[in-house]
Structure 1
Amino acid sequence: MSLYAELHRHLGGSVVPRVLWRYFERNRPDVSERFEGYPDFEAFYTRPRNTLAEYLELHTLVESVQTQEALPYFVYRLIRGAYIFENLAYLELRYTPYLRTPEHLPQHERIEKMAEIIEVVGQTSQQSEYPIVTKQILCMHSKLPYEVNQAIVELAAQYSQYVCAIDLAGGDAKYGDRMDEYTTLYAHARELGVSTTGHVFETQDGCHPELLPYLMRIGHGIQIPLQRPDLLREVAARGQCLEVCPTTYLKTGTLEDLQQLKVVFDRCFEAGVDIAICTDNAGLHNVRLPFEYENLLTQDIIGFEELQACQAAAFRHAFAWPHERQPGSVIESMLRRQQLTHLMGEEIDEPAVHG
């Protein structure tokens, strides 16, 4: 059995439509009553949007119900589904903790409550019945003030038992006017020993090369090979990995056809830039990681060797995978030892031949 690593999944978009609908029916009838029934809700929730900005508005629907009290409900089902249906051995789950705190509180109280959110997600993620190595990535957000984003960076360092990195989210087209803030925060994170990734070069409006030197991985980054292939040599030299989420680009209107990703993979492989294939928002897309793999293969965007290279890259670039090898190689070693033991046993049991 193959086991996989998922490096780019949002807590807000990870809830599959059926689970979210059941929660609304039981706890938020004010939301469920907006729809005629589940099919109507699923069609609304999973349909493609015209732009990334329109697509991101859907996150607010889920963030509003992922309160401290409700998070165990969502996180438990997320981990269960990832283990049973996706064969995940490793999962980095990203979100903005501030957006899970009560909106009616003043900013300083919401900042204080972020630690409680991190602890709830961290504790609920550790499920002995579904043994996935799970860590959090805390997202700074382009719509949040500097003070909140700074607190997010410092909490990432403080809660290293649960958190493996920070991110910057909210739509990469909005970063420009605050670039000095973000580079300062990323530099601060690196000084604190916190790993870094960031949503950048996802859309044509989000090309910010000045952020790249601060990132250990690049969230999406598909516009580098598409629009700025001259940067690929620098990306390869830094050992940065692109977190490519194929279905996202169709859902956000960033790409018209998945075939456009063939250029992304071809140019990255040629330049020696690693790619980890991810889901981004598995629930929002109603798509799981193995389907992302299959879709790329069946449409001849990559071959099996390239897929295996991407799967290996995901474990290699994982911020908190605790082993030197990926789980598949461990299982292969076990099988080889069993075969060797079996062969040695046959030699010992073979009757002696006397002349």
Structure 2
Amino acid sequence: MALYAELHRHLGGSVVPRVLWRYFERHATDLIARFAEYSEFEDFYTRPRNTLDEYLELHTLVESVQTVETLPYFIYRLLRGAYIFENLAYLELRYTPYLRTPEHLSQPERIDKMAEIVEVVGKASHLPEYPIVTSQILCMHTRLPLEVNRAIIDLAVQNKQYVCGIDVAGGDRYYEERLDEWISLYDYARSLGVNTTGHLYETTAGCYPQLLPYLMRIGHGIQIPLLYPELLADVARRGQCLEVCPTTYLKTGTLEDIRQLKLVFDQCFDAGVDIAICTDNAGLHNVRLPFEYENLLTYDIISFGQLQACQNAAFRHAFAWPYAQPPASLLSGLLKPESPKVLAMRD
């Protein structure tokens, strides 16, 4: 029974280790030549890193094999697992389309190729046997020039049947040197009616209050309640939701102990700020969304009531969920005992 919404999952980090290993065995053995067996690869792929930069390097491993030809292979397996093992009813996949285009092409040619990537991801994401509502968030990137990032926004506008918003990826500590540029890009996106989220306040190096007014949701945002709780009132007033990805902060060295998140949840609930619990990179972590829920409960970071509030918030803040209620509410109406009058009419 599909019940949950996932608002923050990267396409590059969504491939579980076993699926990636099998692909490499069949098509790119050179990429796993240094691993004697699968267990060594899994340990390498999922182990914690010391910094966010080191962690993000793993994305390049997957991006190199996620091409227009192979994306359907990876997305089919992603959605199959999301439906069967995670009970997802809604999934937003985020990625940088430019980084899935052939590197040997010129920049203008790669920009033109991005539309094909978006279409392939969109069509591959609609599987009748795994009926999940899906949409894409296109990520600008700190390594890409202004003209490419602006083209990504234009692409989102032109492909609303597949795309529900934009983001910026590549490490939040790199925003400062181009901060005016990021502000202008987000302002441009909002002027075109594009939904916005962004990796912000994930680490202590990524705290830029200047960008907050341009975001509808905040990717991670945990440093706001941890270091700048005075900002929470404005976050609540703007109706912004934090996309909190618990396992990520242990994998990137951002937090030493998951129990540090208790302050994040407590401060946000007290201030009336919504939180959507997400996985970020389910493949890199080898962790699925229900485990994130269970982990937060096990460590007494949240209560069952708070968990349900976060699950409902995820649907409220979903950019492309087409219904007014989450699926649990819709199902409860379907499963109500029928009235005696209806039963008598059937007899």
Common topology (TM > 0.5): yes
Name the residue aligned to 2:245. 245
**One-letter amino acid matched to 1:235:** V
SS of 1:195's equivalent in the other structure is coil
| Cα gap change, 1:251 to 1:305, in 2 (>3 Å) | same
Q: Could you tell me how far apart the structure 2 residues matched to 1:151 and 1:284 are?
A: 29
SS of 2:76's equivalent in the other structure is helix
Tell me if 1:205 matches 2:223.
no
CA-CA distance at 1:297 after TM superposition:
0.4
Return the match for 1:340 from 333, 338, 344: 338
Q: Could you tell me how far apart the structure 1 residues matched to 2:343 and 2:32 are?
A: 63
| Cα gap change, 1:30 to 1:347, in 2 (>3 Å) | closer
Query: Quick check: 2:2–2:83 contact (8 Å CA) kept in 1?
Result: no
**One-letter amino acid matched to 1:23:** Y
Name the residue aligned to 2:160. 160
Q: Could you tell me how far apart the structure 1 residues matched to 2:156 and 2:13 are?
A: 21
Name the residue aligned to 1:352. none
Name the residue aligned to 1:289. 289
1:228-273 per-residue CA deviation (whole Å, 9 max, x = no partner) reads: 0000000000000000000000000000000000000000000000
CA-CA distance at 1:347 after TM superposition:
11
Q: Could you tell me how far apart the structure 2 residues matched to 1:90 and 1:98 are?
A: 25
- Percent identity reads 73
Q: Could you tell me how far apart the structure 2 residues matched to 1:347 and 1:184 are?
A: 63
SS of 2:143's equivalent in the other structure is coil
| Cα gap change, 1:342 to 1:93, in 2 (>3 Å) | farther
CA-CA distance at 1:340 after TM superposition:
3.1
CA-CA distance at 1:346 after TM superposition:
7.3
User: So what's the TM-score if we normalise by structure 2?
Assistant: 0.98
Aligned residues: 347
SS of 1:340's equivalent in the other structure is coil
Q: Could you tell me how far apart the structure 2 residues matched to 1:285 and 1:343 are?
A: 52
Name the residue aligned to 1:174. 174
Name the residue aligned to 1:184. 184
User: So what's the TM-score if we normalise by structure 1?
Assistant: 0.96
Where in structure 2 are the equivalents of 1:92-241 lying within 5 Å? 92-241=92-241
CA RMSD of aligned residues (A): 1.3
CA-CA distance at 1:342 after TM superposition:
5.1
CA-CA distance at 1:147 after TM superposition:
0.6
Q: Could you tell me how far apart the structure 2 residues matched to 1:2 and 1:298 are?
A: 23
**One-letter amino acid matched to 1:236:** A
1:170-197 per-residue CA deviation (whole Å, 9 max, x = no partner) reads: 0000000101111111111111111000
| Cα gap change, 1:346 to 1:34, in 2 (>3 Å) | same
Where structure 1 has 5 or more consecutive residues not aligned to the other structure, the ranges are 350-355
SS of 1:190's equivalent in the other structure is helix
1:62-109 per-residue CA deviation (whole Å, 9 max, x = no partner) reads: 000101111111011111110111010000000000000111111111
| Cα gap change, 1:134 to 1:347, in 2 (>3 Å) | closer
Q: Highest Rg: 1 or 2?
A: 1
SS of 1:218's equivalent in the other structure is strand
Where in structure 2 are the equivalents of 1:65-104 lying within 5 Å? 65-104=65-104
Name the residue aligned to 2:11. 11
Q: Could you tell me how far apart the structure 1 residues matched to 2:149 and 2:85 are?
A: 34
CA-CA distance at 1:2 after TM superposition:
5.7
Query: Quick check: 2:2–2:89 contact (8 Å CA) kept in 1?
Result: no
**One-letter amino acid matched to 1:96:** T
Q: Could you tell me how far apart the structure 2 residues matched to 1:212 and 1:103 are?
A: 33
Where structure 2 has 5 or more consecutive residues not aligned to the other structure, the ranges are none
